[in-house]
Amino acid sequence: MLSDGEYTATCRELTIVGATARGYGMVYPSATMTVKDGWATFWREGTEVWNCNARFAEAHFDIRPAQDGARDADELS
């Protein structure tokens, strides 16, 4: 399972339609993600846009450690 921290999550879905159909269109194509106590929260421009269990996030997104200040900078891709 993901450790608590800041990450960048990129949808594995190839289109916004696919991501929206699965309920996480607000994250497409990528967003900053904070993991705390097993829960993943996704951010855009400092606003929470979606959340899920960290195990679900790990299974459905490509995840990499975020750069410092990623939530403030918002989008890294």
Distance, in Å, from the CA atom of 72 to the CA atom of 21, rounded to the nearest integer, reads 28
Distance CA 22, CA 35 (A): 20
For residues 71 and 66, which has the higher predicted lDDT (pLDDT)? 66
Domains observed in the chain: 5-73 (2.30.30)
pLDDT at 67: 83
pTM of the model: 0.83
Residue 3: predicted pLDDT: 96
User: Does residue 70 have a pLDDT over 60?
Assistant: no
Angle, CA of 50, 34 and 12, to the nearest 5° = 60
